[in-house]
Amino acid sequence: MARNSTFLESVDRMFSRAASLMDLPPGLADHIRECNVVYQLRFPVEIRGEIRTFRGWRAIHSEHRLPTKGGIRFSPNVSQSEVEALAALMSYKCAIVDVPFGGAKGAVEVDPREYTEEELERITRRFAADLVRKARLSPSLDVPGPDMGTGPREMGWILDVYKTFHPDDVNAAAVVTGKRPTASGIRGRHEATGRGLQYALREFFRHPDDVKKAGLEGGLEGKRIIVQGLGNVGYHVAKFLQEEDGAKIIGIVEWDGALVDENGLDVESVKQHIMEHGGVKGYGGATYVENGASVLEAECDVLIPAALEGQITEENAPRIKAKVILEGANGPTTAGADEILRRRGVFIIPDVYANAGGVTVSYFEWIKNLSHIRFGRLERRFEEMRGQQVIQALEELTGQPVPQSIRDVLTSAAGELDLVRSGLDDTMRNAYNEIKETLARRPEAEDMRTAAYMLAIEKISRAYLEHGVWP
Ligand code: NAD
């Protein structure tokens, strides 16, 4: 094995470690591990007076549940094996958080920064047309979402292309998730992965045995956190942990260096600086470190890699000082680094569980699109009225007015965002506890990642065996 294995080799190694501890029917683990089908698409787009050919992929990893689900990444450095690794992680992730989808992933080899919005629209639409015609994109078979380099804008274009091909599909909006809330999306999707990471870390701190295992004490308040990548995932998790849990963000690592401040950085103002200047360099309110990667090795309680895969390797793993690694990115830790960190007792809350908030809320969005109604629309006023009736009854019984603070609680019914957050919180808590139960049942797993993979393999193999392996 190479010193630092590729992303796909890493995912396969982590999978195989878990599968080797299980008693599966012969051949089933191999079948689950491999991608079922990978479409490689080459498509032409006219750009600035010439025909440019782009390469894209859609990897369908596991169809034990349909539709398959997974984001579309726009990146100049993407490769087929990376897409396959990401698709595999999607299958395991969905199983762990009980989202009834198979795993998939897509990508286009393109640097979005090199193209205008109008050119990106043409590239996205052309890729989407190929996905509909050749790779069975549909609300019931394969449903993409956003990933690095894509967002609600691209999802809107993909939906529009699908509708052009299928104008009579009443469920068309469910063909893609991560859309704008005003364009058949759902409130809370944009923040969902960061929010899910926050819920996962809160759940960790509810388990004193895990907190102790990690060499920490107490709760989240005042904990020192370093975040790598202040994009969608990193920004939201850092902001929520700072503003709602009283954690201190003492380091932010970006592509052009890092910022450090023991007293805590202001996440919002750093984000503002990045939006204006493209990176963290030149930010006045903290110490700038040119070698950003070195800050991954700084003293802290929690390290949150939320940028790219392969950031914690066999090379830097021996020097990582974080007590807990909360994996926001997909595959930030290589399999070799994972072994080193396990031996060193670093507590890893693995990607395959921790960053599942995005797909969980995508699932809610898909259900909303299929049911054609906003969550809470039927019951909200009814709940408010019930609250009023309870207040009236209390006042009649006691002869005293109900204080305003209690009135507010009793009459505030949940809207869509409240319900989405509640469903996400419940999902992240349940999954954490299921992984812990798996670890208690199978202590030979030793760590949370292996237990999470075992849980995923148990659920996927059960689905295969219950349905039968049918030609
Ligand atoms: P993003 O493009 O919004 O953010 C990535 C951030 O990382 C950017 O701020 C970028 O400047 C920074 N970055 C790039 N190279 C870097 C480097 N070498 N060092 C430090 N920072 C660097 O992407 P995102 O959607 O936040 O995704 C980040 C990771 O999270 C990816 O691995 C993605 O697959 C994973 N993920 C995303 C979601 C989601 O809902 N967006 C869900 C699950 C997992």
pLDDT tens digits along 7-55:
999 999 999 999 999 999 899 999 999 999 999 999 999 999 999 999 9
Protein residue whose Cα sits closest to atom 12 of ligand 1: 229
Write down the pLDDT at residue 51: 97
231 Cα nearest atom in ligand 1: 4
Protein residue whose Cα sits closest to atom 8 of ligand 1: 231
Tell me the average pLDDT of the chain: 95
Write down the pLDDT at residue 453: 98
Task: Please check the confidence at residue 154 and state whether its pLDDT lies above 80.
Answer: yes
Task: Please check the confidence at residue 1 and state whether its pLDDT lies above 70.
Answer: no
Protein residue whose Cα sits closest to atom 30 of ligand 1: 329
Q: Which amino acid is at 205?
A: F
What three-state secondary structure class fits 18? helix
Q: Rounded CA gap, 335 and 451, in Å?
A: 15
**At CB < 8 A and 24+ separation, what contacts does 124-129 make?**
124/150, 124/154, 124/157, 124/158, 125/157, 125/158, 125/160, 125/161, 126/43, 126/44, 126/45, 126/54, 127/41, 127/43, 127/54, 127/56, 127/72, 128/157, 128/158, 128/161, 128/162, 129/161, 129/165
pTM: 0.94
Write down the pLDDT at residue 469: 65
Distance 232 CA to ligand 1 centre (A): 7
333 close to ligand 1 (CB < 6 Angstrom): no
Closest by Cα among 255, 251, 331, 316 to 78: 331
| pLDDT band at 412; cut points 50, 70, 90 | confident
Task: Please check the confidence at residue 463 and state whether its pLDDT lies above 50.
Answer: yes
Task: Please check the confidence at residue 206 and state whether its pLDDT lies above 70.
Answer: yes
Distance 116 CA to ligand 1 centre (A): 21
**Whether residue 134 lies in the annotated active site:** no
Distance 130 CA to ligand 1 centre (A): 26
233 close to ligand 1 (CB < 6 Angstrom): yes
> What average pLDDT score do residues 369-394 get?
93
158 close to ligand 1 (CB < 6 Angstrom): no
What three-state secondary structure class fits 11? helix
Q: Which amino acid is at 62?
A: S
SS (H, E, C) 118-176: HHHHHHHHHHHHHHHHHCCCECCCEEEEECCCCCHHHHHHHHHHHHHHCCCCCCHHHHC
Protein residue whose Cα sits closest to atom 33 of ligand 1: 329
| pLDDT band at 414; cut points 50, 70, 90 | confident
Q: Rounded CA gap, 72 and 58, in Å?
A: 8
Distance 319 CA to ligand 1 centre (A): 23
Q: Which amino acid is at 191?
A: E
Distance 149 CA to ligand 1 centre (A): 9
Core vs surface per residue 30-59: b (16+ CB within 10 A) or e: ebbbebbebbebebebebeeeeeebbbbbb
439 close to ligand 1 (CB < 6 Angstrom): no
255 close to ligand 1 (CB < 6 Angstrom): yes
> What average pLDDT score do residues 414-435 get?
96
Protein residue whose Cα sits closest to atom 34 of ligand 1: 330
Q: Are strands 257-260 and 248-254 parallel, antiparallel or unpaired?
A: antiparallel
Using the 8-state DSSP alphabet, how is residue 280 labeled? S
Domain ranges of the chain: 215-345
Cβ pair 457, 94 in contact under 8 A? no
Q: Give burial (CB, 10 Å; 0-12/13-18/19+) of 193.
A: buried
Q: What is the pLDDT of residues 316-340, one digit of tens each?
A: 999 999 999 999 999 999 999 999 9
358 Cα nearest atom in ligand 1: 40
Write down the pLDDT at residue 5: 61
Write down the pLDDT at residue 470: 60
Distance 35 CA to ligand 1 centre (A): 24
Cβ pair 97, 356 in contact under 8 A? yes
Distance 328 CA to ligand 1 centre (A): 8
Encoded tokens for 55: 């390469």
306 close to ligand 1 (CB < 6 Angstrom): yes
148 close to ligand 1 (CB < 6 Angstrom): yes
> What average pLDDT score do residues 107-113 get?
97
| pLDDT band at 466; cut points 50, 70, 90 | confident
Higher pLDDT, 45 or 5: 45
Does the domain at 215-345 match CATH 3.40.50.720? Answer given as: yes
360 close to ligand 1 (CB < 6 Angstrom): no
228 close to ligand 1 (CB < 6 Angstrom): yes
Active-site residue identified among 93, 105, 248, 271? 105
Write down the pLDDT at residue 2: 39
